[in-house]
Amino acid sequence: MDQKPAVVPVKVQKKKQTVLPAGGLGAVFFWVSLSVFLGATAVYFYSQYISLEKTIRVLKEEDELLKQENQKQRAVVDQLQAELSQTGSLLKSQEELLEKTTQSLKAVESKKMEEATSGSTKENSSLTKELENRLKAAFPEEIQKGELTVMLQKNGVVARFAKSALFAYGGIKLSTQGKILLSKFLSVTKPFLVNTQDSKIEVCSFTDNDPPAQEVQDIYPTNWEISAIRSAAVIRALIQIGQLPEGMFSLAAGGETNPIADNSMLEGKEKNRRVEITVYPASPNADFRATANPSLINLEKTKQLQPHH
């Protein structure tokens, strides 16, 4: 019996194929393309590197310039601060000098004012005292009867006339006796009114607290109107008799305010009905209580009415 030969299987290992071409034109093309790509990539990154390096260099230069400029500006600021400090010190010194000068000037002015005021006060005091003495010497009977009271006031003299001495009972028109008294009053006071710009006369009338009579309340609703009319009548007479300028006079109406006696008694009412004439021989700063032009008050229209005050 013939015996078959044994077959031994042999495992043949196949050769693995690579991605890269082994040879030929394809391999050449591949390697050339790869070289070009790598070269271009290298050139691109190199150019980016060079550009970044230039940018960094420029930024460093600009930073250096900015630092230098900052130092210059800081130096300028320091110089300005130093100059400002010097200017502030100079201004402070000038302010102190000005303050001292102002204080010195104020002291000098104050001293001059005190001297002038002292001299003026002494002069006014002498004038007012002399006027007081002359008025008392000229009206001894009226003073004794209580028709006139003469008093010294700051910078002036007050002649307080009883209302009955100048006006008829309840009237607003000066009586003949009243005009005589005012004429005599001016003969004494006019020599003290030489300087008509500085000399002042204030006339203020007062009433008692009785209201105006019913029949005249349409014209004289209160005692203010009555006292104002009487003050105007006195001022008008003084201007006409003494030929004095209206600007010298000040009109005031006291009404029933500021009583000097008890209104609950007849004697008190009589004392409260009064006319006070204050003469300031030389007092440009006299503090008048009120002013009015007596020529604007029409006495003729109301002289027939009797308010009974």
Q: Which residues contact 29 (CB under 8 A, 6 or more apart)?
A: none
**Which residue has tokens 């004038």?**
127
| pLDDT over 80 at 22, yes or no | no
**272 falls in which pLDDT band (50, 70, 90)?**
very high
CA-based nearest residue to 234, from 288, 307, 144, 159: 159
**Full DSSP string of 209-250:** SPPPPGGGTTT-SSHHHHHHHHHHHHHHHHHHHHT--GGGEE
- pLDDT tens per residue across span 30-61: 888 888 888 888 888 888 888 888 889 888 88
Q: With bands split at pLDDT 50, 70 and 90, how would you rate the model's confidence at 241?
A: very high
CA distance 159 to 181: 11
Is 3.40.50.720 the CATH number for 139-296?
Answer: no
> How much is the mean pLDDT over the chain?
81
**What 3-state class would DSSP assign to 252?**
strand
Q: What are phi and psi of 3, to 5 degrees?
A: -95, 125
Q: Is the pLDDT of residue 63 over 70?
A: yes
The pLDDT value recorded for residue 123 is 56
